[in-house]
A = this chain, B = another copy of it.
Amino acid sequence: MERNARGHRLIQSAANPVIKRARSLREKKHRKSEGLFLAEGLRILTEAREAGSLPQQLFYAEDRPGHPLAEELITATLAAGGEVVATSEDILSKLSGKDNPQTLIGLYPDRLTPLADLDRHAAPIWLVVQAMRDPGNLGTMLRTGDAVGAGGLILIDDCVDPFSVETVRASMGALFTQQISTARWPDFISWLRSGPGTLVGTSLAPGTVDYREPAYPAPTFILIGNEARGLPDDYEAACDVRVKMPMHGKADSLNAAVAAAVMAYQVLDRQERG
Protein backbone atom coordinates (compact mmCIF):
# COMPACT_ATOMS: atom_id res chain seq x y z
CA MET A 1 0.00 0.00 0.00
CA GLU A 2 1.41 3.36 -1.05
CA ARG A 3 1.61 6.04 1.64
CA ASN A 4 2.30 9.76 1.46
CA ALA A 5 4.80 11.69 3.56
CA ARG A 6 2.24 11.99 6.36
CA GLY A 7 1.71 8.26 6.47
CA HIS A 8 -1.77 8.40 4.95
CA ARG A 9 -2.81 5.88 2.35
CA LEU A 10 -2.20 7.44 -1.08
CA ILE A 11 -4.41 6.56 -4.05
CA GLN A 12 -3.73 8.13 -7.41
CA SER A 13 -5.75 5.90 -9.73
CA ALA A 14 -9.48 6.13 -10.24
CA ALA A 15 -9.38 2.40 -11.03
CA ASN A 16 -8.38 1.59 -7.44
CA PRO A 17 -11.09 -0.58 -5.84
CA VAL A 18 -11.35 1.79 -2.85
CA ILE A 19 -12.22 4.65 -5.20
CA LYS A 20 -14.54 2.51 -7.31
CA ARG A 21 -16.40 1.40 -4.22
CA ALA A 22 -16.77 4.96 -2.87
CA ARG A 23 -17.95 6.14 -6.26
CA SER A 24 -20.52 3.34 -6.43
CA LEU A 25 -22.22 4.93 -3.40
CA ARG A 26 -23.54 7.63 -5.68
CA GLU A 27 -26.15 5.01 -6.60
CA LYS A 28 -28.95 4.07 -4.23
CA LYS A 29 -28.65 0.31 -4.73
CA HIS A 30 -25.00 0.36 -3.65
CA ARG A 31 -25.75 2.62 -0.67
CA LYS A 32 -28.41 0.15 0.36
CA SER A 33 -26.30 -2.98 -0.04
CA GLU A 34 -23.29 -1.44 1.71
CA GLY A 35 -25.20 0.56 4.35
CA LEU A 36 -22.93 3.52 3.60
CA PHE A 37 -23.26 6.96 2.07
CA LEU A 38 -21.12 9.92 0.97
CA ALA A 39 -20.98 13.41 2.42
CA GLU A 40 -18.89 16.19 0.93
CA GLY A 41 -17.25 19.37 2.02
CA LEU A 42 -15.52 20.84 5.02
CA ARG A 43 -18.66 22.48 6.36
CA ILE A 44 -20.88 19.40 6.21
CA LEU A 45 -18.20 17.04 7.53
CA THR A 46 -17.52 19.45 10.39
CA GLU A 47 -21.23 19.59 11.24
CA ALA A 48 -21.19 15.80 11.22
CA ARG A 49 -18.23 15.69 13.59
CA GLU A 50 -19.87 18.18 15.94
CA ALA A 51 -22.97 15.99 15.92
CA GLY A 52 -20.83 13.00 16.83
CA SER A 53 -20.39 11.33 13.43
CA LEU A 54 -16.99 10.56 11.95
CA PRO A 55 -16.36 8.94 8.57
CA GLN A 56 -15.21 5.37 8.13
CA GLN A 57 -13.09 6.68 5.29
CA LEU A 58 -12.05 10.27 4.71
CA PHE A 59 -10.70 11.35 1.31
CA TYR A 60 -8.76 14.56 0.94
CA ALA A 61 -6.98 16.32 -1.92
CA GLU A 62 -3.26 15.67 -1.47
CA ASP A 63 -2.22 18.81 -3.33
CA ARG A 64 -4.62 21.33 -1.79
CA PRO A 65 -3.62 23.33 1.28
CA GLY A 66 -5.23 21.96 4.43
CA HIS A 67 -7.71 24.02 6.44
CA PRO A 68 -7.28 23.75 10.23
CA LEU A 69 -10.75 22.17 10.46
CA ALA A 70 -9.70 19.62 7.85
CA GLU A 71 -6.70 18.74 9.99
CA GLU A 72 -9.01 18.30 12.98
CA LEU A 73 -11.19 15.99 10.93
CA ILE A 74 -8.18 13.93 9.84
CA THR A 75 -6.97 13.60 13.42
CA ALA A 76 -10.40 12.73 14.78
CA THR A 77 -11.08 10.18 12.01
CA LEU A 78 -7.81 8.38 12.70
CA ALA A 79 -8.38 8.49 16.46
CA ALA A 80 -11.80 6.86 15.98
CA GLY A 81 -10.29 4.04 13.94
CA GLY A 82 -11.27 5.37 10.51
CA GLU A 83 -9.05 5.44 7.45
CA VAL A 84 -7.69 8.62 5.88
CA VAL A 85 -6.98 8.52 2.15
CA ALA A 86 -4.92 11.13 0.30
CA THR A 87 -5.90 11.41 -3.34
CA SER A 88 -6.07 13.84 -6.26
CA GLU A 89 -8.53 16.62 -6.95
CA ASP A 90 -9.39 14.80 -10.16
CA ILE A 91 -10.44 11.68 -8.26
CA LEU A 92 -12.44 13.74 -5.73
CA SER A 93 -14.18 15.24 -8.74
CA LYS A 94 -15.12 11.74 -9.90
CA LEU A 95 -16.43 10.87 -6.44
CA SER A 96 -18.55 13.98 -6.13
CA GLY A 97 -19.68 14.20 -9.74
CA LYS A 98 -18.82 17.91 -9.79
CA ASP A 99 -16.16 19.79 -11.71
CA ASN A 100 -15.07 21.78 -8.67
CA PRO A 101 -15.23 19.14 -5.98
CA GLN A 102 -15.09 19.78 -2.29
CA THR A 103 -11.67 19.13 -0.82
CA LEU A 104 -13.02 16.53 1.59
CA ILE A 105 -15.34 13.59 1.08
CA GLY A 106 -16.37 11.22 3.84
CA LEU A 107 -17.94 7.81 3.76
CA TYR A 108 -20.41 7.23 6.60
CA PRO A 109 -22.53 4.34 7.86
CA ASP A 110 -26.18 5.13 7.14
CA ARG A 111 -28.15 6.66 9.96
CA LEU A 112 -31.45 4.80 9.85
CA THR A 113 -33.10 4.31 13.25
CA PRO A 114 -35.82 1.65 13.57
CA LEU A 115 -39.12 3.37 14.34
CA ALA A 116 -39.45 1.36 17.55
CA ASP A 117 -36.18 2.86 18.78
CA LEU A 118 -37.21 6.51 18.32
CA ASP A 119 -37.65 8.32 21.63
CA ARG A 120 -40.58 10.62 20.90
CA HIS A 121 -39.96 12.48 24.17
CA ALA A 122 -36.49 13.50 23.04
CA ALA A 123 -37.87 16.46 21.06
CA PRO A 124 -41.08 18.52 20.90
CA ILE A 125 -41.33 18.46 17.09
CA TRP A 126 -40.96 15.67 14.52
CA LEU A 127 -41.32 15.88 10.77
CA VAL A 128 -43.09 13.15 8.83
CA VAL A 129 -43.07 13.09 5.04
CA GLN A 130 -45.11 10.96 2.70
CA ALA A 131 -43.87 10.00 -0.79
CA MET A 132 -41.48 12.95 -0.92
CA ARG A 133 -39.80 12.87 -4.32
CA ASP A 134 -37.36 15.76 -4.42
CA PRO A 135 -33.95 15.30 -2.76
CA GLY A 136 -33.55 19.07 -2.39
CA ASN A 137 -36.87 19.31 -0.52
CA LEU A 138 -35.89 16.45 1.76
CA GLY A 139 -32.50 17.97 2.55
CA THR A 140 -34.08 21.38 3.15
CA MET A 141 -36.56 19.79 5.57
CA LEU A 142 -33.73 18.18 7.52
CA ARG A 143 -32.04 21.58 7.75
CA THR A 144 -35.28 23.15 8.98
CA GLY A 145 -35.75 20.30 11.44
CA ASP A 146 -32.34 21.00 12.91
CA ALA A 147 -33.12 24.73 13.16
CA VAL A 148 -36.38 24.26 15.09
CA GLY A 149 -34.89 21.60 17.34
CA ALA A 150 -36.87 18.74 15.84
CA GLY A 151 -35.94 15.20 16.79
CA GLY A 152 -35.94 13.73 13.35
CA LEU A 153 -37.62 12.86 10.10
CA ILE A 154 -39.86 9.87 9.47
CA LEU A 155 -40.27 8.79 5.85
CA ILE A 156 -43.54 7.15 4.84
CA ASP A 157 -44.20 5.30 1.57
CA ASP A 158 -41.88 5.57 -1.40
CA CYS A 159 -39.65 8.58 -0.64
CA VAL A 160 -36.43 9.68 -2.26
CA ASP A 161 -33.34 8.28 -0.49
CA PRO A 162 -32.38 10.52 2.45
CA PHE A 163 -28.75 9.48 1.97
CA SER A 164 -28.40 10.61 -1.65
CA VAL A 165 -25.61 13.06 -2.37
CA GLU A 166 -28.18 15.75 -3.26
CA THR A 167 -30.11 15.35 0.01
CA VAL A 168 -26.99 15.40 2.15
CA ARG A 169 -25.83 18.54 0.30
CA ALA A 170 -29.18 20.35 0.69
CA SER A 171 -29.28 19.40 4.38
CA MET A 172 -26.00 21.29 4.92
CA GLY A 173 -25.04 18.67 7.47
CA ALA A 174 -28.34 18.67 9.38
CA LEU A 175 -28.77 15.06 8.26
CA PHE A 176 -26.32 14.20 11.03
CA THR A 177 -28.30 15.96 13.75
CA GLN A 178 -31.66 14.38 12.95
CA GLN A 179 -32.84 10.84 13.61
CA ILE A 180 -34.14 9.22 10.44
CA SER A 181 -36.68 6.41 10.24
CA THR A 182 -38.63 4.83 7.44
CA ALA A 183 -42.01 3.17 7.96
CA ARG A 184 -45.09 1.92 6.21
CA TRP A 185 -48.14 4.00 7.08
CA PRO A 186 -49.97 1.36 9.19
CA ASP A 187 -46.81 0.70 11.18
CA PHE A 188 -46.25 4.40 11.74
CA ILE A 189 -49.83 4.92 12.92
CA SER A 190 -49.71 2.00 15.33
CA TRP A 191 -46.36 3.21 16.71
CA LEU A 192 -47.71 6.77 17.01
CA ARG A 193 -50.84 5.62 18.87
CA SER A 194 -48.77 3.56 21.32
CA GLY A 195 -47.85 6.80 23.15
CA PRO A 196 -48.57 10.52 23.33
CA GLY A 197 -48.32 12.58 20.16
CA THR A 198 -50.39 14.94 18.02
CA LEU A 199 -50.41 14.26 14.31
CA VAL A 200 -50.94 17.43 12.26
CA GLY A 201 -51.68 17.38 8.56
CA THR A 202 -51.81 20.34 6.21
CA SER A 203 -54.96 20.13 4.18
CA LEU A 204 -57.48 22.02 2.10
CA ALA A 205 -60.24 19.55 3.06
CA PRO A 206 -63.39 20.49 5.02
CA GLY A 207 -62.92 20.52 8.78
CA THR A 208 -59.56 22.25 8.65
CA VAL A 209 -58.64 25.04 11.04
CA ASP A 210 -56.27 27.95 10.58
CA TYR A 211 -52.72 26.78 11.30
CA ARG A 212 -52.36 29.42 14.04
CA GLU A 213 -55.21 28.00 16.15
CA PRO A 214 -54.12 24.64 17.61
CA ALA A 215 -51.89 24.43 20.68
CA TYR A 216 -49.59 21.72 19.28
CA PRO A 217 -48.59 20.00 22.53
CA ALA A 218 -45.24 18.22 22.48
CA PRO A 219 -44.52 15.90 20.85
CA THR A 220 -46.19 17.16 17.66
CA PHE A 221 -45.70 15.29 14.41
CA ILE A 222 -46.01 17.47 11.29
CA LEU A 223 -47.13 15.41 8.30
CA ILE A 224 -46.32 16.69 4.80
CA GLY A 225 -47.57 14.93 1.68
CA ASN A 226 -46.17 14.34 -1.78
CA GLU A 227 -45.15 17.47 -3.74
CA ALA A 228 -47.69 17.00 -6.53
CA ARG A 229 -50.57 15.13 -4.93
CA GLY A 230 -50.51 16.13 -1.26
CA LEU A 231 -51.67 13.63 1.35
CA PRO A 232 -53.96 10.69 0.55
CA ASP A 233 -57.47 11.21 1.99
CA ASP A 234 -57.20 8.39 4.51
CA TYR A 235 -53.89 9.76 5.80
CA GLU A 236 -55.52 13.15 6.32
CA ALA A 237 -58.41 11.47 8.08
CA ALA A 238 -56.02 9.81 10.53
CA CYS A 239 -54.59 13.18 11.63
CA ASP A 240 -55.58 14.61 15.02
CA VAL A 241 -55.66 18.11 13.54
CA ARG A 242 -56.00 19.26 9.94
CA VAL A 243 -54.76 22.77 9.40
CA LYS A 244 -54.53 25.17 6.51
CA MET A 245 -52.25 28.11 5.92
CA PRO A 246 -53.63 31.35 4.47
CA MET A 247 -53.44 31.36 0.68
CA HIS A 248 -53.95 34.80 -0.79
CA GLY A 249 -52.57 34.06 -4.22
CA LYS A 250 -53.76 32.58 -7.44
CA ALA A 251 -51.65 29.44 -7.45
CA ASP A 252 -52.95 28.15 -4.11
CA SER A 253 -49.96 26.07 -3.20
CA LEU A 254 -46.62 26.13 -1.46
CA ASN A 255 -43.42 24.23 -2.03
CA ALA A 256 -43.42 21.18 0.28
CA ALA A 257 -40.26 22.18 2.14
CA VAL A 258 -41.64 25.69 2.60
CA ALA A 259 -44.94 24.37 3.97
CA ALA A 260 -43.01 22.14 6.39
CA ALA A 261 -40.93 25.11 7.59
CA VAL A 262 -43.83 27.53 8.07
CA MET A 263 -45.68 24.83 10.03
CA ALA A 264 -42.61 23.91 12.07
CA TYR A 265 -41.96 27.53 13.09
CA GLN A 266 -45.63 27.96 13.98
CA VAL A 267 -45.55 24.84 16.16
CA LEU A 268 -42.34 26.04 17.81
CA ASP A 269 -43.91 29.45 18.46
CA ARG A 270 -47.02 27.94 20.06
CA GLN A 271 -44.95 25.56 22.16
CA GLU A 272 -42.66 28.37 23.33
CA ARG A 273 -45.65 30.55 24.22
CA GLY A 274 -47.07 27.58 26.15
Interface residues, chain A, CB within 8 Å of chain B? 47, 50-51, 136, 140, 143-149, 170, 172-174, 177, 212, 245-255, 257-258, 261-262, 265-266, 268-269, 272
Q: How far is the CA of A269 from the CA of B265 in the complex (A)?
A: 13
**B50 & A177 in contact (Cβ 8 Å cutoff):** no
Which of B47, B50, B249, B272 is the one whose CB lies under 8 Å from A147? B249
The chain B residue with its CB closest to the CB of A258 is: B261
Please, which residues of chain B bring their CB within 8 A of the CB of A172? 251, 253
Q: Considering the chains assembled together, what is the distance between the CA atoms of A51 and B249 in angstroms?
A: 10
A248 touching B143, Cβ below 8 Å: no
Shortest Cβ distance from A228 into B: residue: B43
Q: A143-B254, A147-B246 are known contacts; what are 11 more A-B pairs with Cβ within 8 Å? A: A51-B250, A143-B258, A144-B255, A144-B258, A147-B249, A147-B253, A148-B246, A148-B249, A172-B253, A177-B250, A258-B261
Are A247 and B147 in contact, with the CB atoms below 8 A? Answer: yes
Q: Which of B212, B245, B251, B261 has a CB less than 8 Å from the CB of A143?
A: B251
- The residue in chain B whose Cβ has the minimal distance to the Cβ of A50 is B250
Shortest CB-to-CB span from A1 to chain B, Å, is 36
**Contact for A255 among B143, B212, B247, CB less than 8 A:** B143
Judge whether B140 and A258 touch: CB under 8 Å.
yes
Residues of B within 8 Å of A149, CB to CB, are 248-249
Give the CA-CA distance A246 to B170 in the complex, in Å: 20
13 contacts between A and B (CB under 8 A): A143-B251, A143-B255, A143-B258, A144-B258, A146-B251, A147-B245, A147-B253, A148-B249, A172-B251, A173-B251, A177-B250, A257-B257, A258-B261
Assembled-state Cα–Cα distance A20/B244 (Å): 45
Contact A47 B250, beta carbon cutoff 8 Å: yes
| A203 CB, min distance to chain B CBs, angstroms | 15
Among residues of B, the one whose C-beta sits closest to the C-beta of A123 is B248
Cα distance, A246 to B146, chains bound together (Å): 11
Neighbour of A261 across the interface among B246, B250, B261, CB < 8 A = B261
Q: How far is the CA of A9 from the CA of B100 in the complex (A)?
A: 45
Contacts of A246 in B (CB 8 A): 147-148, 265, 268, 272
In angstroms, Cα B266 to Cα A123, docked, is 23
Residues of B within 8 A of A50 (CB): 250
Closest CB of chain B to A139's CB: distance in Å? 9
> Top 10 A-B pairs ranked by shortest CB distance?
A149-B248, A146-B249, A258-B261, A140-B255, A262-B265, A147-B249, A174-B251, A146-B251, A177-B250, A147-B247
Contact B144 A251 (CB under 8 A): no
